Amino acid sequence: MNDLDAVLARIDANADAALDRLFAVLRIKSISTDPAYAAECKTCADWHAADLASIGFTAEARTTPGHPIVVAHDRSATGPSALFYGHYDVQPVDPLALWEHDPFEPRIETRADGSKVIRGRGASDDKGQVMTFIEACRAWKDVTGSLPIPVTVLLEGEEESGGVNLPPFLKDNAAELKADIGLICDTNMWDAATPAIQTMLRGLCGEEIIITAADRDLHSGFYGSAAANPNHVLARIIADLRDANGRVTLPGFYDGVPELPEALKQQWDSLNFDAGAFLGAIGLSVPAGEKGRSVLEMTWSRPTCEVNGMGGGYQGAGFKTVIPSVASAKISFRLVFDQDPHKVRAAFRDFVRARIPADCKVEFIEHGSGSAIRFPIEDAAFTKSRDALTAEWGKPAVFIGGGGSIPVTAELKKALGMDVMLTGFALEDDRIHSPNEKYNLHSFRKGMRSWARILHALAQ
């Protein structure tokens, strides 16, 4: 039996002990956003530091202005190094009444089809996923006394609450944390049978606009038509932002947005994504974006403009014939490829100002700014990891895009200059951030084995 097979056998043999450890960490109420749980966050960081030390890492829970950050090194091997990022904090559990059991008393449930799930806050996001990696390391150390490659583990405690202390920490400790590749286990599989590596993340440009017309609310009977109504001004701006074909009309918006590279396009086509089922699951059926684009393109490789919130005037019960003084909107642009968030913001502000009547005012508030990220899927770390996943799951792993933004990915790229491989074993139905969060026991077991294989592959 070669080392890898021995490690995989060890993972299988010790699966119950691994589950016990996961349950131990799930019991810790590490809700980072609520100051009442600060001590539990520290407990969780200390738990991880001790656990990693027990495997043979040199591990510390380091203080920050917020919750501690766990840093652990195992440099017993040579070769290309990896930095694994995860987070030990969890979302709040409100509304508690919707949980079927204590969210911090994890348990195994058997579903109607006989499959088992781990229920509890953090089971999937991100404690379960983090432990798949740590358990893989433990097995390698148990069997061979070493890891296949040098590994640093970095566990943040504020991912669910803004994460403001991570970027300066990365910057201050760049020399210590730098590695050849970043690894993150905080994403989904393509489906329950198909492993995936996410290689594109969209950027974001968030703006709030506040339009003021008259200096007070007015009676629409007395002032209707004569006085500018900021609701109308705002609606006109929003309507003008997209044309009849669903394209964003900001001048220069599509600068830096190429057509999808042919190889990636073919790979995405081969996913046989079911757009009807995707929209059907949320009660819709008509793709609302750019005409002539697939739903996958709309959500992965094309930029968007979405009004996340808008309001003006009377919104309570009944009716009030008021012309409001103020109307406002929160608008976000998801960016792709080489779009420049600062240029998009400037173009948006010019666009809005050009539509503000001479006697009205507009105020802008910036909410977030980040470029899109994409990683080179042809590089060895990505192809080796893909092959390792394929070997474990018996089905070709796929490179996928993703509509959202994972800010830490950009931070790792920026502060440490490294590419990041995002893979994970969560599923769409894991109910992360919601009551009754779960992680499939199958995801946990095969996740541990997947990381054992990836560590091995990266060493080759």
Which of 250, 197, 229, 236 minimizes the C-alpha distance to 385? 197
The DSSP code for 194 is: B
Closer to a second copy by CB, 9 or 360: give it. Answer: 360
Closer to a second copy by CB, 331 or 452: give it. Answer: 331
Closer to a second copy by CB, 127 or 242: give it. Answer: 242
CB of 237 to a second copy, least distance (A): 8
Q: Measure the CA–CA gap between 255 and 342, rounded to whole angstroms.
A: 12
**How distant, in Å, are the alpha carbons of 42, 76, 288 from that of 60?**
12, 17, 49
CB of 307 to a second copy, least distance (A): 4
Checking DSSP bridges between strand 151-156 and strand 82-87, what pairing results, if any? Answer: parallel
The DSSP code for 124 is: T
CB of 283 to a second copy, least distance (A): 3
**How distant, in Å, are the alpha carbons of 56, 140, 145, 148, 367 from that of 76?**
9, 12, 9, 9, 44
CB of 161 to a second copy, least distance (A): 12
Closer to a second copy by CB, 111 or 219: give it. Answer: 219
Closer to a second copy by CB, 77 or 275: give it. Answer: 275
Q: Measure the CA–CA gap between 51 and 48, rounded to whole angstroms.
A: 5
**How distant, in Å, are the alpha carbons of 229, 233, 327, 421, 428 from that of 313?**
10, 13, 7, 47, 38
CB of 320 to a second copy, least distance (A): 6
Closer to a second copy by CB, 73 or 334: give it. Answer: 334
Q: Measure the CA–CA gap between 350 and 344, rounded to whole angstroms.
A: 10
Q: Measure the CA–CA gap between 56 and 147, rounded to whole angstroms.
A: 10
Q: Measure the CA–CA gap between 319 and 451, rounded to whole angstroms.
A: 59
CB of 365 to a second copy, least distance (A): 9
CB of 217 to a second copy, least distance (A): 10
Closer to a second copy by CB, 275 or 459: give it. Answer: 275
